[in-house]
């Protein structure tokens, strides 16, 4: 009750704030509630939420993006980055292990749909009481703070359901045989695509640890990332199946059938895929959802600070860049996301532009962050009986 009162007070106060420091198109929560009221106090915190850009700031961002896109990467190098994408991400995880990104404990406030009905309110109340203020995400490769390293005591393998064929040498060969597959007995199934070192996986496993009917799948096309998850101290093979998978490869099958998932997490993943292949990826993922299931999406927005700081010669194509380590990033608009997902046959539930101000208090540097956060749902289908009961229409 105290939490509700505090956030109600915040909402009332924020509704009277000057438009320069708050977007009028954004609810106070979700997506943070730390609002910059006094620009003289900008370095009091690491992150400020709901930032409204001035026209001058918008124009400077566009000019910078145009400037850093003037020189394009040579076609033969572009082909190499596409062909060897998994190699570059493997090298990334070999270098950084699991101490690069922080665990995404914000997930259940921004995406309560991850959890089954009846479990959401309890966790949200518990987590918001513990973490009343949120300072945003640190997702960009060179902006993230190191997370504490959790050392694994032993490597745990996956437990397989009967009828499941698995190749330890190459997870790409996994196939469903018959009706049995990992997690086939679960009532609620979650998939995280591009799971990395498990910064979403382990918060989800922790929250659902008392619900044996929830099963989590997680995949990445970097085998190093999947091994990091399997070797983690808190990995539980009876509740989680981790596997290597390239979502761009339509011939590579998932270890579960279509129409079997309740939730798919797609967080800072689609941006790493070549723009020409994004639609095919989302189409495939949409087919995996049960009717009523949801894709929960978060990724880079157009003119994010990480886009503007690319140097000339790093641009692959419009709004698509390669980093120094060979990994790539695309920067979206809301309309692009809406078009991609609606073309895959899922319906928009939420599609927000999240603008924040991140600051380096030591160096007195201000960085405008831009992310897209969206939720798309697969439509419920009419049952056969309802279709049969529907009145017939006869032509006159």
Domains of the chain (ranges; CATH) run 27-297+310-381 (3.40.50.150)
- Output the pLDDT for position 40: 85
- Output the pLDDT for position 334: 97
- Output the pLDDT for position 69: 95
pLDDT of 82 strictly over 70: yes
- Output the pLDDT for position 12: 42
pTM over 0.75: yes
At 29, list the tokens.
Answer: 């929560």
Model confidence at 92, pLDDT cuts 50, 70, 90, reads: confident
Q: What average pLDDT is seen over the chain?
A: 78
pLDDT of 333 strictly over 70: yes
Which has the closest alpha carbon to 69: 260, 316, 234, 274?
A: 316
What is the mean pLDDT of the segment spanning 340-369? 94
**4-7 — which CB contacts under 8 Å span 24+ positions?**
6/132, 7/33
Summarize pLDDT for 215-273 with one digit per residue, the tens: 999 999 999 989 999 988 889 999 999 999 999 998 889 999 999 999 999 999 999 99
- Name which of 44-53, 191-200, 286-295, 366-375 the model is least confident about: 44-53
Model confidence at 289, pLDDT cuts 50, 70, 90, reads: very high
- Output the pLDDT for position 157: 35
Which has the closest alpha carbon to 324: 337, 305, 311?
A: 311
Model confidence at 169, pLDDT cuts 50, 70, 90, reads: very low
pLDDT of 29 strictly over 90: no
pLDDT of 25 strictly over 60: no
Helix (H) or strand (E) holding 127: helix 120-130
Model confidence at 101, pLDDT cuts 50, 70, 90, reads: low
Sheet holding 320-322, edge to edge: 315-317, 320-322, 328-330
Summarize pLDDT for 105-159 with one digit per residue, the tens: 788 888 999 988 876 666 555 554 444 333 333 344 434 332 222 222 222 333 3
């Amino acid at each position: 009750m105290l939490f509700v009162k505090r956030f109600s007070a915040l909402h009332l106060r924020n509704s009277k704030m000057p438009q320069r420091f708050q977007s009028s198109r954004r609810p106070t929560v979700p997506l943070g509630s730390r609002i910059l009221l006094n620009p003289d106090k900008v370095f009091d915190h690491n992150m400020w939420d709901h930032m409204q850009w001035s026209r001058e700031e918008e124009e400077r961002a566009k000019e910078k993006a145009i400037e850093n896109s003037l020189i394009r990467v040579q076609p033969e190098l572009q082909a190499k980055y596409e062909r060897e994408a998994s190699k570059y991400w493997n090298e990334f995880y070999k270098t950084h292990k699991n101490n690069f990104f922080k665990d995404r404990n914000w997930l259940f406030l921004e995406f309560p749909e991850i959890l089954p009905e009846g479990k959401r309110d309890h966790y949200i109340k518990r987590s918001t009481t513990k973490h009343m203020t949120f300072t945003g995400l640190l997702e960009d490769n060179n902006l993230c703070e190191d997370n504490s390293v959790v050392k694994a005591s032993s490597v745990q393998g996956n437990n397989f359901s009967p009828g499941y064929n698995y190749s330890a040498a190459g997870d790409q060969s996994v196939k469903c045989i018959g009706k049995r597959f990992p997690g086939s007995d679960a009532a609620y199934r979650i998939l995280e695509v591009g799971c990395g070192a498990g910064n979403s996986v382990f918060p989800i496993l922790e929250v659902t640890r008392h619900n044996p009917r929830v099963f989590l799948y997680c995949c990445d096309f970097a085998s190093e990332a999947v091994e990091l998850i399997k070797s983690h101290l808190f990995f539980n093979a009876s509740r989680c199946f981790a596997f290597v998978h390239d979502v761009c490869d339509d011939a590579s099958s998932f270890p579960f059938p279509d129409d079997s998932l309740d939730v798919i997490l797609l967080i800072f993943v689609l941006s790493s895929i070549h723009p020409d292949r994004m639609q095919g990826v989302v189409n495939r993922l949409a087919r995996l959802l049960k009717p009523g299931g949801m894709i929960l999406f978060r990724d880079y927005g157009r003119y994010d600070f990480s886009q503007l700081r690319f140097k000339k010669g790093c641009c692959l194509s419009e709004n698509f860049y390669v980093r120094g380590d060979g990994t790539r990033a695309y920067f979206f608009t809301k309309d692009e996301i809406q078009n991609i997902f609606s073309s895959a046959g899922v319906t928009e539930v939420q599609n927000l532009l999240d603008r924040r101000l991140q600051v380096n208090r030591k160096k007195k540097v201000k960085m405008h962050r831009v992310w897209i956060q969206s939720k798309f749902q697969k439509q419920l289908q009419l049952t056969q009986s309802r279709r049969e009961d529907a009145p017939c229409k006869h032509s006159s």
